[in-house]
Structure 1
């Protein structure tokens, strides 16, 4: 590793538990390095949305002939939810001399901007706010971003989430939002949600948290404030603590909406609308393949995601006394329960 011992110990002191998890989560495809490029992959947490995004990336590589352990080396790590760990891992990647970095999420991309040299290509995905990470300026066309950086833009479709909630409940006027303002991606999406809610004359009642352990209490507080629904944005605290929101929603008969498809499996989650994370990863993987084959990221544009998928939970609807409109049932990609 390229870290000095004192700097490493300092970072361990910031987030010792997270660093221990990191050592367990780092994986090199095939165990030993093979002839071929080495790519360092970092995501913020081990959870279905970023995991599915990473799997899509790996699938795109494989389709182009870059097979882990055979023709490409993949070093996979997650930051265990600790922002300090993203910097630590990026320094490890640089010290290991990786040929490319995949940043799955805004915080990993932010760390890559701080640490990676301009000679190392950085591909990003599962990212709502590349601008906040310092990757470039909107919309990220050629000449509008760092020359070594390219990726997909996945700001969650929170406007569609609000439209879905109102289609189910035309009288909806107050939604509850739980998020961690300390996360750059969360703060950005909360701002987008407020703007979209204002367009629809919907009030956003907010409850901030510092970590997933505070989500249950925050949901209980919002329930007492008589919100008409809970809505979720791209936020790591609520990705990990979403079960608590769904539980409160079920107990208090408050509809819960999410932008993460896997949440539909939880009792209490009424509906989801969002991107296909696997497809997000595939799109990023195709960008990576172009770079691996010699194309410069400087000649490529950021790619915004455009296709959304809606899922509904019939069992949750029955449990909280909500009738799902027939039109929505026909439009849904999947109806569970």
Structure 2
């Protein structure tokens, strides 16, 4: 074989290899899920609020860093940082936004009408304006409800069961985050007098508890808005200092020191939210996925807080609890 022929064969082989490499598709970019949180990153013994979502995604075959990317951003209780985080998601073209709570959902909806949003939020999505109907929400938002009309009445009933002489209840809420008509209806049915404590941020907490004391409140019902959840440890401490038996809906608050919590299992909601993200990544439209009501509930009693308050609650209440914090 002469030299000219050898060179020709080698060049042909190189050309063929280059053609094969050119024909191979570029490595696919991993789908990115932007996780939008109003609170702080979990630290120390604090539970990770998206544990259920992580587990749900893994159960569906989605592993962070292998075939998906979870972009977690925490606003640390600051609306300005929340707005910046969601704007960063939109700029970077995330495939889905997971919005945990009313404020993340509100900011996400304001930022985009095209990026799919899966919400873990709300008591009445139609009234709140992020769904046309539960069965077919339309637009770019779907997800799972955290509460529903009637849940507040149940929570107030439990608080009254823990404090049999209960007549006056302080209700803590961040007014820009939630408007739940079920609270007043539940209070009327139980013969309770309500004192509304509006808190727009941590600077309002001390004043709120002073108002509760001035109105001779006998218990605290904290609606679990993002502001309340983000500062749950401080609020639990203030409730104990002011001798107020407290209740809210998320187990995170009982873990932080609230006396009682009754509501949807946040981990179960996270797992359900994962099924929505999975469907959207596979091509489903958010507006065509029905919004789900919570199906699993937890009733948690914090024994340490009961002891700190010097409370001897009825035995029937302990028996009903799904979990006791010792």
Give the alignment's TM-score, normalised by structure 1: 0.79
**Deviation per residue, 1:236-275 (Å, 9 max, x gap):** 33324434443343344331222221333455x3221122
Instruction: From 119, 136, 144, give the equivalent of 2:131.
Output: 136
Cα distance between partner residues in 1 of 2:306 and 2:195: 23
Query: Is 1:193 paired with 2:183?
Result: yes
Instruction: From 64, 84, 97, give the equivalent of 2:93.
Output: 97
Are residues 241 and 184 of structure 1, via their aligned partners in 2, closer, same or farther at CA, if it must alter by over 3 Å? closer
Instruction: From 14, 21, 36, give the equivalent of 2:30.
Output: 36
Aligned to 1:212: 202
Name stretches of at least 5 consecutive residues in structure 2 with no aligned partner: 1-26
**Deviation per residue, 1:83-134 (Å, 9 max, x gap):** 333333222212112111111112222222222243x221111444544663
Cα distance between partner residues in 1 of 2:73 and 2:321: 34
Contact 1:112–1:122 (CA under 8 A) maintained in structure 2: yes
Aligned to 2:259: 270
Instruction: From 269, 277, 283, give the equivalent of 1:294.
Output: 283
Aligned to 1:11: none
Matches within 5 A, 1:10-25: none
Cα distance between partner residues in 2 of 1:86 and 1:245: 22
Name stretches of at least 5 consecutive residues in structure 1 with no aligned partner: 1-32
Contact 1:52–1:277 (CA under 8 A) maintained in structure 2: no
Query: Is 1:332 paired with 2:321?
Result: yes
Query: Is 1:123 paired with 2:118?
Result: yes
Cα distance between partner residues in 2 of 1:105 and 1:249: 23
Three-state SS of the structure 1 residue aligned to 2:36 is strand
Rg larger in 1 or in 2?
Answer: 2
Contact 2:138–2:288 (CA under 8 A) maintained in structure 1: no
Aligned to 2:102: 106
Three-state SS of the structure 2 residue aligned to 1:167 is helix
